[in-house]
Amino acid sequence: MISKTIFVGNGINYLGGTPISWSDLLKELMKYGQFEFDELPYAMAYEKIRFDWQEHHDDEDSSRLKQHIAEKLKDHPGNETCKKILESGFSNYITTNYDYAIENSFKSLNDKNTFSNHEKNDEQGEKYYSIRRKTELKTGQDTIGTVWHIHGEIEPYKSIMLGFNHYVGSVAKVDSYLKGTYKSDSNPNIPPIKKIEDKISSKLYDNLSWIELFFNSDVHIVGFSFDFYEIDLWNILTKRARFKSQSKIDNKIYYYTKLLSQVEDKIKKIETRKREMLKNLSVEIIEVELPKSILDLDKYDYERQWDEFIEFMRKN
C-alpha cells in the first residue's frame, strides 16, 4: 500500500502564532539598505541582504543573519489547521518551513504525544544541508509520523536555506542521492545509496531521505507557491518525469491550488506557465473553487481556504 505524504509551505503559517510572509521577512532583514525586489526571486533578494550583513558584521558564513531569522520564527505555537492535517492520516510531513508549528500542533493534540530529532545533538548529524534531517512524531513509544524540514530548521540555524548558494549546494546533494553517489559530510558510516532507477525497479528504498517520497508515496502539495527558483524540487520532478516514461512509477503527486480565474491578474500569466509545467512533469493539478465569501473579505480568510483544501483531500 502506497503511503501518504503531505507537503506544506509557508501558507500554513498564516494561521496562528505570529505569521510572517517571506516578503515581510526579507523586508525586516533589510537593516542596512532598503531596495525593491518585486521582480527578484526571494533567493536572489536574500543574497543582496546577505552581502549587506556581511559588510556590517563580518558575517562571512551568514551565521549571524541566520541566527536572527531563527529568533524571528522560533515561537510559532502551531494552529488548528495543523491539527486537522495531523488527524488526516498522513505518515510523512514535508515542509519548507523552518519553525516547529507542525510539531507543536502534534504535541498539543494529546498528553502522550512527543517529538524527537536524534540528530540535533549528534556530532554526525546534518548541520547545513537537509537530505536526511527528520523529526519523529511519537505517541508513547510508537512513531506515527515523520516531519522533514527540507529547507532547514531553526535548530541548527545554519541549516536555514534562503540564498542561491545554499540552493545550488542542496541541488548537488539531491542529485547525488538520486544518482546513488551521496556521501554525508558529517557521517562516514552512512551505507552506500542505491540509484533511484534501481529503487524504482526493485521497489526497495533506502528510507534515508525525504527525496524518495516523491517516488514511492502519494504526495499532496498544499500552501506552497512552487516558484521557479525552487530548483531542488523542480529537479526532482524533472527526474521523476524522465524515469516515469521509462519505468513503472505507481505513486501520484497532487498540487492543490485555487481556480486560475481566482488568481490575481498580476501573477496570472506566470501562474498559468507554472501549472502547465507541473502537468508536463506528471503532477496532477487540483483546482479547488474557493467560495466568494472567502475572496471578498478585506482580510484574506486563510483558515477557510485551508478547510476547503483539507475537505477536498479527505473526499478524494
Residue 255 CB neighbour total at 10 angstroms: 20
Q: What average pLDDT does this structure show over 199-203? A: 93
Name every residue whose Cβ is closer than 8 Å to that of residue 192 and which is 6 or more positions away in sequence: 180
Per-position b or e across 132-148, b if 16+ CB within 10 A of its CB: bbbbbbbeeeeeebbbb
Out of 27-31, 83-87, 121-125, 161-165, which region has the weakest mean confidence (pLDDT)? 121-125
Name every residue whose Cβ is closer than 8 Å to that of residue 292 and which is 6 or more positions away in sequence: none
Q: Supply φ then ψ for residue 150, to 5 degrees.
A: -75, -15
Q: Which amino acid is at 30?
A: M
177 vs 13: which has the higher pLDDT:
177
Say what the pLDDT of residue 266 is: 87
Say what the pLDDT of residue 36 is: 77
Of the ranges 46-60, 72-86, 243-257, the best mean pLDDT one? 243-257
Tell me how far apart the alpha carbons of residues 273 and 269 are, in angstroms, rounded to a whole number. 6
Say what the pLDDT of residue 53 is: 83
Residue pair 123/177 in contact (Cβ under 8 Å)? The answer is: no
Q: What average pLDDT does this structure show over 168-196? A: 90
Nearest to 153, CA basis, from 175, 114, 126: 126
pLDDT band at 311, cuts 50/70/90? confident
Say what the pLDDT of residue 299 is: 46
Place of cell 532547514: 152
Whether the pLDDT of residue 180 is over 50: the answer is yes
CA 164 to mean position of chain CA atoms: 16
Q: Show me where the domains of the chain are located.
A: 3-250
Share of residues in the chain with pLDDT > 90 (%): 47
Q: What is the mean pLDDT of the chain?
A: 86
Longest CA span, the chain: 56
Alpha helix ranges (H) inside the chain:
22-29, 42-57, 63-73, 80-86, 101-109, 164-179, 196-202, 213-216, 231-246, 265-280, 292-295, 302-315
Q: Which amino acid is at 51?
A: F
Tell me how far apart the alpha carbons of residues 301 and 215 are, in angstroms, rounded to a whole number. 34
Residue pair 161/151 in contact (Cβ under 8 Å)? The answer is: yes
Over its C-alpha atoms, the chain yields an Rg (Å, rounded) of 19
Paired sense of beta strands 113-116 and 135-139, if any: antiparallel
Name every residue whose Cβ is closer than 8 Å to that of residue 41 and which is 6 or more positions away in sequence: 227, 228, 229
For the stretch 41-60, pLDDT in tens is: 788 888 888 888 887 777 77
Helix, coil or strand: residue 143:
strand
Q: Supply φ then ψ for residue 220, to 5 degrees.
A: -110, 115
191 vs 34: which has the higher pLDDT:
191
Say what the pLDDT of residue 271 is: 94
pLDDT band at 295, cuts 50/70/90? low
Tell me how far apart the alpha carbons of residues 48 and 37 are, in angstroms, rounded to a whole number. 10
Number of H helices, E strands in the chain: 12, 8
Say what the pLDDT of residue 16 is: 67
Out of 164-178, 190-204, 208-222, 280-294, which region has the weakest mean confidence (pLDDT)? 280-294
Residue pair 2/203 in contact (Cβ under 8 Å)? The answer is: no
pLDDT band at 298, cuts 50/70/90? very low
Say what the pLDDT of residue 17 is: 61
Tell me how far apart the alpha carbons of residues 68 and 70 are, in angstroms, rounded to a whole number. 5
pLDDT band at 118, cuts 50/70/90? low
Tell me how far apart the alpha carbons of residues 95 and 97 are, in angstroms, rounded to a whole number. 5
Out of 63-67, 229-233, 281-285, which region has the weakest mean confidence (pLDDT)? 63-67
Place of cell 518551513: 97
